[in-house]
Amino acid sequence: MADYRVQLDLFTGPLDLLLYLVRRNEVDIAQLPIAKITGQFLQFLDVLEFLDLDLVGDFVVMASSLIEIKSRQVLPRAEEEEEVPAEISLADDSCSELIQQLLEYKKYKDAAIALEHQASVWQERYPRLSDDRPTSAKDHGADPIKEVELWDLVSALSRVLQKKHVEETSSIRYDDTPIATYIERIGARVRESGRVSFTEFFEGSNLRSKIIGIFLAVLELLRHHGFRAEQTSEFADIVVLPPLTETAANAAVA
């Protein structure tokens, strides 16, 4: 059977998911709505466990922490008591610590993005000669997904799974199609159609291994092969498009 394990570093970590949820909900990190964020975090955790249970240890720990903070925050406060219950105080401290970690993570991530942008600007102004280019291969695993974030794709997969009755792989029936085959098929389909919605790739596919293979192939095309993904609005269907260079070439021929 094909190996469909997902590299954990592809998903960065639980703080990256929390930051994504904060941006999506358009809330202030300092006013983190624990109850709302916890529910959404658990939905993403379900998808990560679907992809590979062995890779989500850090996410499970974060989910447990969020649930614990949420539980302590909703404990009834005795109005007649002047002192704040120890459980409530502990919850406030835990939430403050989480908010501080999130703020620190955001600071470093923003700095990394700014440095990456500046490096791109310098590269355009001062292109390297062929002799100056590094001989080592580029780490494609560090490439960001442009236009549509990785977590947007995970969210879209979650909506796909909610509409399906997924069959688990068994010794009798399983899909052993190599990822390279999925990449070739999906890439050819997008090039031929010009644009294909993310959900269309999963039509007629209820086998768990096949769904994972398709999802990983889409990620591969977006990260390493220049394909693009666009989303018109929050929770709208994501559309996958061919590389800009191929689009321009086809337009020129036409």
> Residue 112 corresponds to which tokens in the numbers above?
């990394």
Do 9 and 108 lie in a common domain? yes
- Angle 14-25/57-73 helices, nearest 10 degrees? 50
> Residue 124 corresponds to which tokens in the numbers above?
């355009």
Do 119 and 154 lie in a common domain? no
Domain count across the chain? 2
At 144, give phi and psi (nearest 5°): -80, 155
Rounded distance, CA 13 to CA 78, Å? 38
Do 149 and 232 lie in a common domain? yes
Do 40 and 112 lie in a common domain? yes
Beta bridge partners of 230: 239
Do 129 and 146 lie in a common domain? no
Beta bridge partners of 239: 197, 230
Cβ–Cβ < 8 Å for 229, 148: yes
Choosing from 133, 156, 180, the residue where a domain stops is 133
Helices (H) and strands (E) in the chain, counts: 8, 3
* Average pLDDT over every residue of 103-108: 90
Choosing from 99, 133, 167, the residue where a domain stops is 133
**Three-state secondary structure call for residue 59:** helix
Of residues 189 and 5, the one with the higher pLDDT is: 189
For the chain, percent of residues with pLDDT exceeding 70: 69
Rounded distance, CA 58 to CA 37, Å? 17
Of 20, 19, 22, 44, which Cα lies nearest the Cα of 33? Answer: 22
CATH number assigned to the domain comprising residue 193? 1.10.10.580
Whether the predicted pLDDT of 120 surpasses 70: no
Instruction: Give residue 182's identity as a one-letter amino acid code.
Output: Y
Do 128 and 216 lie in a common domain? no
Do 146 and 228 lie in a common domain? yes
The number of residues making up the chain comes to 254
Do 22 and 86 lie in a common domain? yes
What pLDDT shows up at residue 61?
93
pLDDT digits (tens, 9 = 90+) for 187-205: 999 999 999 999 999 998 8
What pLDDT shows up at residue 148?
85
Choosing from 133, 150, 180, the residue where a domain stops is 133
Residue with tokens 């959900």: 199
Whether the predicted pLDDT of 156 surpasses 90: yes
> Residue 1 corresponds to which tokens in the numbers above?
């059977």
Exposed, middle or buried by CB within 10 Å (0-12, 13-18, 19+), for 43?
middle
What is the Cα gyration radius of the chain? 22
Do 97 and 1 lie in a common domain? yes
What pLDDT shows up at residue 170?
47
Cβ–Cβ < 8 Å for 184, 224: no
Do 24 and 76 lie in a common domain? yes
Do 157 and 251 lie in a common domain? yes
pLDDT digits (tens, 9 = 90+) for 211-239: 999 999 999 999 889 999 999 887 788 99
Beta bridge partners of 197: 239
Do 33 and 123 lie in a common domain? yes
What pLDDT shows up at residue 94?
82
Of residues 67 and 249, the one with the higher pLDDT is: 67
Domain enclosing residue 80, as ranges = 1-133
| Positive/negative CA dihedral, 223, 226, 227, 228 | positive
